[in-house]
Chains A and B, each alone.
Chain A
């Protein structure tokens, strides 16, 4: 291999070298002299880019509302500005994005992200050291188990959700049918969040406490190539309901289609899931409304009563068929930071953090965006948060629990 070097190849090398020089990355909603900056770090490229995009749309919508209403009042009407970092597809990229934002933007007052738990863990290692208040919707318990002072987790943690999902589902079933389910089937993959969920059920005593017997208990490694062996067990064991903990859509699709093929879908065996992916527009597009009808899932945050106006304007603005957890949280987190700024009275991250810690919001756009009050404990977890359940009803996942704020009434699927 002794080809000759050419001028062209040298030029190409130089061009690549020039590209290699890292520069600043600032995407600003609106640049103005006296603006106050907040950060968002989320995956905007790679497999989770869509979720990051939804978060961003929610945040941008909140920013626009805030600025239209006169900006930050206590700061003389200063405009609120969003600075965005791409967490990409790896923890390394997420951490780099955080470090970059903090280096480029020394006057940030707070931020939120980074959607995937492991990204959030990496990002908050940076923000904590910089004493930047950071909000996240990620579920992992580890995020608020590290003794960090500047992290605020608006979602109930994964363990708590695991502990609450089953009892709440049983309550719904009993209310609807008058009978309490006795057996459960579990199909899950072995990624981070289903594993911690499953651990709570099996080793944490979640099943025993609920008086449930697991007649099917299957863990698979994604991607699933064929769901037949899993669903075959469901067919023979006939559990009273099936807990589906899949984190990837193709796997979810395979299981649902196989259930349908075995005549177990469409209410024959009620399905319960956990996590926002179960209510995503993509799931609807891939699987269709018929197979999804009746599927219940617990989730950290979902559109509730009192948000109708926001839901409509979000749909109009983005063209999405319905609002989900991501858009809602991007919106809500931005509003929480705005409220904190008003209470702090200064564009100072330490004072903003202090304001978030002292916060107890029950009204206003921030409080409306989350179930329960905006109030954090010492670890940065919200207190008095109810579990939310949503259910697919005629092609739309609607919140059905808690009753006082739910948009619809739940039904426990039964064979007609």
Chain B
């Protein structure tokens, strides 16, 4: 998330860009041909920005943005041919068509991830292409309106198309900027970097992904609508074809994925390059233009794998290291830290109750008939050897897994069927056995993502995050990139992220694992303090020694069954526990020494 000053600077940059294009169009370019190419540059940039909004930020790669582009083009063409609808109305209408298509496509497709999602997206424009062929719309032309050309967006001055396309591009840039600077963009970035972590931190991943696809679809469809007006001929291959989807992707990849200006850079360089090569070489050495274009893209991918924008940014950052350093201390300003939110500590009642929880994976019974009640204000430990089902139990509590049977109530309400982000919003925070950070975000941003669950206002979320960092003692590292932290810092950061959602119950999954003796003491102190502040804690460990010092109640799991439960000092003497950990021989030895 950018600061307000940065966002303002970006707005000025957008304005400057628009002025530059207008000067270029009205002052420099002297031919209708160059104006036409410029219009196409701007329209492809909008498509690429639309693609970037979904794929660049959320990481869900779409090979199918031609679907939206084509639907927009056909909306305008069919509207004009059959309903005599002016593009002044039908182009805005395209946003509705695009958003609806986005919702329709997203609903089934977001069940998939990674390559599967990308490939499934590929199917939509290809399928739509055949539908439009089947409907008999192989070649549509927008009828020439000699009577009222302006009313039908048919200008004789090609510069007016540049103005319209520029208007769309400016709008697309402002929308992207708004997304980047709000929890919308942060949530998408979190999804891109670690979707389960985002979900567990209270981000409603499904909702944000759907919104991103709908917004992206609307933008692409509007651009496609204007494209139809500019080209005047709409064919299924021309608007739903692979080349359109590829164009959206290539421009963004070239310019810089997940950046505001990347798609624009891509369009400004590659579209005229392709057209220039076509014009220069197309009739001399037919086909060579494609080869040159391909080599240009390969060269860029080799030299700047993340795109031109990021490359230049890295380069500038290295040139001006001083500026970066001066940014660092600002975050830890003590004035920012709000008073600790007090958690209503009504000790005594059971906060979390598990009844007869069971789950199987194929033939393996991972959990079988688990009953557990954690009272409000308790500090409970779950121990057991590897493979006992401890993490599975957490995954069931926070909604990653649905149990085959049994019920979970939290603060009196059933949470068995809720999704992780909903469980988080009810007040259950968690950390992971292997830390799930958002590695390319700063520590503070990692924690802000967690704070969104409890704060409707972005500024409040930021304050909450600062306070959470303070509670775990990480204030000084707020601006560091999460990918560079030590294990201890990562554990603390994840703890802060969980805290930022103001949980009533914290699920800590082997938070102590892999830490040195010194680090251990620090983290234990933090956990004790959280508990003292009123947070109920449920912690998993398999090292018993640390746990005995920390918790006031032990639950022991073995092979998916609850084998003992009670005060720590009693549980460690339990025969079945000793057997589970050390084997039957040790039970006998303990028995003999006791005599």
Q: A residues bordering B, Cβ < 8 Å? A: 1-3, 5-6, 8-9, 12-13, 16-17, 19-25, 27, 44-46, 49, 84-86, 88, 90-93, 95-97, 99-100, 102-104, 117-118, 121-122, 125, 128-129, 140, 142, 146-148, 190-192, 195-196, 199, 221
Q: Which residue of B lies closest to A87 (CB)?
A: B282
Given known contacts A5-B315, A103-B34, A221-B133, A129 and B283 CB-to-CB distance under 8 angstroms: no
Min distance, Cβ B527 to any Cβ of chain A, angstroms: 35
Digitize B261-280: 1 where CB-to-A-CB distance is under 8 Å, 0 elsewhere.
00000000110110111111
Q: How many residues of B contact A (CB 8 A)?
A: 55
Contact of A148 among B130, B144, B238, B270 (CB under 8 A): B144
Digitize B229-264: 1 where CB-to-A-CB distance is under 8 Å, 0 elsewhere.
001110101100101000000000000000000000
- A95/B233 in contact, CB under 8 A: yes
Digitize B64-95: 1 where CB-to-A-CB distance is under 8 Å, 0 elsewhere.
00000000000000000000000000000000
Contacts of B40 in A (CB 8 A): 92, 96
- B36/A19 in contact, CB under 8 A: no
Given known contacts A12-B303, A99-B36, A191 and B272 CB-to-CB distance under 8 angstroms: no
- A49/B287 in contact, CB under 8 A: yes
Given known contacts A96-B278, A191-B138, A16 and B143 CB-to-CB distance under 8 angstroms: no
A-B contact pairs, 8 of them (CB 8 A): A13-B308, A23-B279, A88-B282, A92-B231, A96-B40, A100-B33, A122-B232, A140-B139
Contacts of A27 in B (CB 8 A): 283-284
- B303/A45 in contact, CB under 8 A: no
- A1/B306 in contact, CB under 8 A: yes
- A90/B238 in contact, CB under 8 A: yes
Q: Is the interface of B mostly helix, strand, loop or mixed?
A: helix
Across chains A and B, which 4 residue pairs bring their CB atoms closest together, nearest first?
Answer: A86-B282, A9-B303, A192-B138, A103-B31
Contacts of B33 in A (CB 8 A): 96, 99-100, 102-104
Contacts of B286 in A (CB 8 A): 44-46, 49, 86
Contacts of B34 in A (CB 8 A): 22, 103
- B134/A25 in contact, CB under 8 A: no
Tell me, in angstroms, the Cα distance from A118 to B233 when the chains sit together: 7
Residue with the highest number of chain B CB atoms closer than 10 Å, among A25, A27, A128: A25
Contacts of A95 in B (CB 8 A): 36, 231-233
Q: B residues bordering A, Cβ < 8 Å? A: 31-34, 36-37, 40, 130, 133-134, 136, 138-139, 141, 143-144, 146, 156, 231-233, 235, 237-238, 241, 243, 269-270, 272-273, 275-280, 282-284, 286-287, 289-290, 292, 296, 299-300, 303-306, 308, 311, 314-315
Contacts of B292 in A (CB 8 A): 19
Tell me, in angstroms, the Cα distance from A117 to B299 when the chains sit together: 37
Residue with the highest number of chain B CB atoms closer than 10 Å, among A92, A100, A142: A92
- B272/A102 in contact, CB under 8 A: no
Contact of A118 among B139, B144, B283 (CB under 8 A): B139
Contact of B138 among A13, A88, A93, A195 (CB under 8 A): A195
Min distance, Cβ B502 to any Cβ of chain A, angstroms: 36
Min distance, Cβ B458 to any Cβ of chain A, angstroms: 29
- A8/B303 in contact, CB under 8 A: yes
Count of chain A to chain B residue pairs whose CB atoms are closer than 8 Å in the complex: 162
Tell me, in angstroms, the Cα distance from A103 to B275 when the chains sit together: 15
Tell me, in angstroms, the Cα distance from A122 to B133 when the chains sit together: 18
- B233/A19 in contact, CB under 8 A: no
Can you add 12 more A-B contacts, CB < 8 Å, to A88-B278, A90-B237, A104-B31?
Answer: A2-B314, A3-B305, A9-B304, A12-B303, A19-B277, A22-B279, A23-B280, A45-B286, A45-B290, A95-B36, A142-B139, A191-B138
- B238/A91 in contact, CB under 8 A: yes
Contact of A45 among B141, B144, B233, B287 (CB under 8 A): B287
Contact of A190 among B134, B146, B300 (CB under 8 A): B134
- B139/A192 in contact, CB under 8 A: yes
Min distance, Cβ A188 to any Cβ of chain B, angstroms: 12
- B144/A96 in contact, CB under 8 A: no
- B32/A146 in contact, CB under 8 A: no
Contacts of B314 in A (CB 8 A): 2, 5
Given known contacts A5-B311, A191-B138, A146 and B143 CB-to-CB distance under 8 angstroms: yes
Given known contacts A99-B33, A100-B279, A146 and B134 CB-to-CB distance under 8 angstroms: no
Contacts of A146 in B (CB 8 A): 141, 143-144
Tell me, in angstroms, the Cα distance from A143 to B462 when the chains sit together: 61
Min distance, Cβ A53 to any Cβ of chain B, angstroms: 8
Contacts of B144 in A (CB 8 A): 125, 128, 146-148
Given known contacts A19-B277, A125-B232, A199 and B136 CB-to-CB distance under 8 angstroms: yes
Contacts of A195 in B (CB 8 A): 133, 136, 138
Tell me, in angstroms, the Cα distance from A148 to B40 when the chains sit together: 25
- B238/A16 in contact, CB under 8 A: no
Contacts of B300 in A (CB 8 A): 12-13, 16
- B278/A20 in contact, CB under 8 A: no
Contacts of A8 in B (CB 8 A): 303
Q: Which residue of A lies closest to B312 (CB)?
A: A5
- B130/A221 in contact, CB under 8 A: yes
Tell me, in angstroms, the Cα distance from A327 to B289 when the chains sit together: 25
Tell me, in angstroms, the Cα distance from A5 to B310 when the chains sit together: 11
Min distance, Cβ A107 to any Cβ of chain B, angstroms: 14
Given known contacts A95-B231, A96-B37, A86 and B283 CB-to-CB distance under 8 angstroms: yes
Tell me, in angstroms, the Cα distance from A128 to B138 when the chains sit together: 22
- A22/B275 in contact, CB under 8 A: yes
Tell me, in angstroms, the Cα distance from A11 to B76 when the chains sit together: 43
Min distance, Cβ A105 to any Cβ of chain B, angstroms: 11
- B282/A44 in contact, CB under 8 A: yes
Tell me, in angstroms, the Cα distance from A122 to B228 when the chains sit together: 11
- B278/A91 in contact, CB under 8 A: no
Contact of B299 among A16, A103, A128 (CB under 8 A): A16
Min distance, Cβ A87 to any Cβ of chain B, angstroms: 9
- A125/B276 in contact, CB under 8 A: no
Contacts of A147 in B (CB 8 A): 144, 146
Tell me, in angstroms, the Cα distance from A46 to B287 when the chains sit together: 7
Contacts of B315 in A (CB 8 A): 5
Tell me, in angstroms, the Cα distance from A45 to B277 when the chains sit together: 12
Contacts of A44 in B (CB 8 A): 282-283, 286
- A16/B269 in contact, CB under 8 A: yes
Contacts of B299 in A (CB 8 A): 12, 16
Contacts of B278 in A (CB 8 A): 45, 86, 88, 93, 96-97
Tell me, in angstroms, the Cα distance from A3 to B305 when the chains sit together: 9
Given known contacts A8-B303, A19-B277, A91-B238, A190 and B139 CB-to-CB distance under 8 angstroms: no
Contacts of B276 in A (CB 8 A): 19-23
Tell me, in angstroms, the Cα distance from A91 to B280 when the chains sit together: 18
- A20/B273 in contact, CB under 8 A: yes
Min distance, Cβ A9 to any Cβ of chain B, angstroms: 3
Tell me, in angstroms, the Cα distance from A199 to B134 when the chains sit together: 12
Q: Which residue of A lies closest to B143 (CB)?
A: A146
Contacts of A192 in B (CB 8 A): 138-139, 235
Contacts of B284 in A (CB 8 A): 27
Contacts of B37 in A (CB 8 A): 22, 96
Contacts of A46 in B (CB 8 A): 286-287
Q: Which residue of A lies closest to B237 (CB)?
A: A90
- B32/A103 in contact, CB under 8 A: yes
Contact of A92 among B32, B238, B269, B277 (CB under 8 A): B238
Tell me, in angstroms, the Cα distance from A12 to B283 when the chains sit together: 25
Contacts of B238 in A (CB 8 A): 90-92, 118
Tell me, in angstroms, the Cα distance from A99 to B287 when the chains sit together: 21
Min distance, Cβ A130 to any Cβ of chain B, angstroms: 9
Contacts of A128 in B (CB 8 A): 144
Min distance, Cβ B412 to any Cβ of chain A, angstroms: 49
Contacts of A92 in B (CB 8 A): 40, 231, 238
Tell me, in angstroms, the Cα distance from A190 to B280 when the chains sit together: 34
Tell me, in angstroms, the Cα distance from A90 to B273 when the chains sit together: 16
